Amino acid sequence: MGEDVDKLKQHLPLLDYLRQHNWIARPAGRNSEFVGLCPLHAETRPSFYVNARKNLFYCHGCGQGGDLIRFVQLSRNLSFRQSLAYLEQPAVPTDDSAAAVLQETTAFYQQQLDHYPEAMRYLNQRGLQDPALIKELQIGYAPGGSLRRYLTAAGYSFDLLRQFGLLNSQGADAFYQRIVFPLRHSKNIVNLYGRSISNAFAHRFLPGSKGGLYAWEQVQQCSEVILVEGLFDYAVLWQAGFHNLTCSLGTHLNADQFQSERTTSRTATSPSSWRARYRHPPRLPASGT
């Protein structure tokens, strides 16, 4: 029994569990400590501390403390055995915990862009020069090799980062040497798109939803929407002053995406750069264009 409990706690660190349940924390000094609002009692000033190294929590507000199982007992009002059974079910990260880690990853990649002239050169070659736009779209660069260190120092475990697809099984950065665009849905970042700066690697997304058409929420009220094939087309046209834009993510513009666009906007048009139209001619006429 004791061995199983230890294994469980090792497999699911307390901090990961809390983050999967939307606990927002910031590092508190040294010694792998984190602090945030207490999930066990109502408070406005953070007094709930987690020591990631010891895998323990303590709240200075309500005086509760202990390990992961103790936390589950208190937060879900379960017995020790019930808590174990609850924790043995496979955990699925929530959308909010994904959004938090993708937000941190995006910010990290944005910082890297300034340090790697080859990444800026690539953006310039692709016609993207406007620093304000690069900032607005939160475009960044993944040099490779440093994301793991950065995010584990922020308290995210290797397992969690693997789960999100940010690292491969060796711990290397999944977006290695790619320009990275965050993809949003309802304000949250739901995925990332990476484009190799040397064409040495295929472009890629994280596993899971891409959040539909890019920036769709911003344009769905427009009477006319321009649909482009890729994010670089999007950025370059935006820079040229076209703001009623969206873009299909991935290689296929599927009929459902297009149909959903048509049902909410009166007209959808495309510039000549809309190559998807020619690549998939049978799809779009079937959608009624």
Site residues, Zn ion (CB under 5 A)? 38, 40-41, 59, 61-62
CB of residue 34 vs Zn ion: minimum separation in angstroms? 14
Give the total residue count for the chain.
Answer: 289
**Strand (E) or helix (H) holding 52:** none
CB of residue 48 vs Zn ion: minimum separation in angstroms? 6
CB of residue 87 vs Zn ion: minimum separation in angstroms? 21
Task: Pick the closer one to Zn ion by CB: 8 or 62.
Answer: 62
- Which residue is associated with the tokens 């834009």? 245
Within a 13 Å sphere around the CA of 249, how many CA atoms are in the beta-carbon half?
22
Task: Pick the closer one to Zn ion by CB: 22 or 259.
Answer: 22
Task: Pick the closer one to Zn ion by CB: 59 or 113.
Answer: 59
CB of residue 37 vs Zn ion: minimum separation in angstroms? 9
Task: Pick the closer one to Zn ion by CB: 41 or 262.
Answer: 41
Task: Pick the closer one to Zn ion by CB: 40 or 255.
Answer: 40
Read off the tokens for 127: 């016609």
Task: Pick the closer one to Zn ion by CB: 40 or 56.
Answer: 40
CB of residue 47 vs Zn ion: minimum separation in angstroms? 6
- Which residue is associated with the tokens 């929420």? 217
Cβ proximity of 51 and 45 under 8 Å: no
Task: Pick the closer one to Zn ion by CB: 74 or 139.
Answer: 74
CB of residue 31 vs Zn ion: minimum separation in angstroms? 20
Cβ proximity of 119 and 179 under 8 Å: yes
Cβ proximity of 249 and 213 under 8 Å: yes
CB of residue 239 vs Zn ion: minimum separation in angstroms? 49
Q: How far apart are CA 158 and CA 151, in angstroms?
A: 9
Q: What are phi and psi of 192, to 5 degrees?
A: -130, 150
**Strand (E) or helix (H) holding 58:** strand 56-59
Cβ proximity of 78 and 72 under 8 Å: yes
Task: Kindly give the pairing relationship between strand 56-59 and strand 33-36.
Answer: unpaired
Q: How far apart are CA 92 and CA 81, in angstroms?
A: 21
